[in-house]
Amino acid sequence: MEIWISQLFNGLSVSSILLLIALGLAVTFGLMRVINMAHGEFIMIGAYGAYMTQQIFKSALPRSLFDAYFPVALLASFVLAFAIGYLLEVTLIRFLYGRPLDSLLATWGVGLMLQQLARTIFGAPNVAVSSPTWLDGGWALMPGVVLPYKRLFIIALVAFCLFAMYLYIYRSNAGRRMRAVMQNRDMAACLGISTRRVDAFTFAIGSGIAGIAGCALTLIGPIGPSIGTYYIVDAFMVVVLGGVGKLVGTVAGALGIGVFNTLFEWWTDASLGKVLVFLCIVAFLQWKPMGMFAVRSRSLDG
Partner 1 sequence: MQWMSRLPRRAWLLIGYAAAAAALFSAPLYLNDFRLNLLAKCLAFAIVALGLDLLWGYTGILSLGHGVFFGLGAYAMAMHLKLAAGGSRIPDFMGWMGLTKLPWFWEPFKSFAFAAAMGLILPSALALLLGFFTFRNRIRGVYFTILTQALVIITVTLFVGQQAYTGGTNGLTGYTKLFGYSLTSGTAKTLAYLATAAALLAAFAVCRYLVNSRFGKVLRAIRDGENRTRFLGYDPAYYQMAVFAVSAGLAGLAGMLFVLHVGIISPTMMAIVPSIELVLLVAIGGRGTLIGAVIGAILLTQAKSQLSASYPDFWLFLLGALFIIVTVFMPGGIVGLIRQARQAILRRRSENEITLDSIVPKSNGVV
Give the residue with the Cβ less far from partner 1, 30 or 211.
30
Give the residue with the Cβ less far from partner 1, 132 or 242.
242
Give the residue with the Cβ less far from partner 1, 52 or 104.
104
Task: Give CA separation, 291 vs 26, 209, 250, 281, in Å.
Answer: 12, 23, 10, 10
Give the residue with the Cβ less far from partner 1, 109 or 144.
109
- With 0-12 CB in 10 A as exposed, 13-18 as middle and 19+ as buried, what is 96? buried
Give the residue with the Cβ less far from partner 1, 75 or 110.
110
Query: Minimum distance between the CB of residue 257 and partner 1, rounded to whole angstroms?
Result: 11
Query: Minimum distance between the CB of residue 21 and partner 1, rounded to whole angstroms?
Result: 14
Among the listed residues 95, 45, 65, the one whose alpha carbon sits nearest the alpha carbon of residue 209:
45
Query: Minimum distance between the CB of residue 271 and partner 1, rounded to whole angstroms?
Result: 3
Q: Is 300 helix (H, G, I), strand (E, B) or coil?
A: coil
Give the residue with the Cβ less far from partner 1, 9 or 236.
236
Query: Minimum distance between the CB of residue 298 and partner 1, rounded to whole angstroms?
Result: 13
- With 0-12 CB in 10 A as exposed, 13-18 as middle and 19+ as buried, what is 148? middle
Q: Is 293 helix (H, G, I), strand (E, B) or coil?
A: coil
Query: Minimum distance between the CB of residue 112 and partner 1, rounded to whole angstroms?
Result: 4
Task: Give CA separation, 197 vs 84, 94, 152, 203, 223, in Å.
Answer: 16, 11, 36, 10, 33
Decide if 111 contacts 230 (C-beta within 8 A): no
Among the listed residues 104, 82, 91, 92, the one whose alpha carbon sits nearest the alpha carbon of residue 214:
82
Query: Minimum distance between the CB of residue 219 and partner 1, rounded to whole angstroms?
Result: 25
Give the residue with the Cβ less far from partner 1, 113 or 140.
113
Query: Minimum distance between the CB of residue 87 and partner 1, rounded to whole angstroms?
Result: 14
Q: How far is CA 58 from the centre of its chain?
A: 28
Binding site residues, partner 1, CB under 8 A? 29, 35, 92, 95-96, 100-106, 108-113, 115-116, 119-120, 229, 233, 236-237, 239-240, 269-272, 274-275, 278, 281-282, 285-286, 289, 300-301
Name the residue type at position 22: A
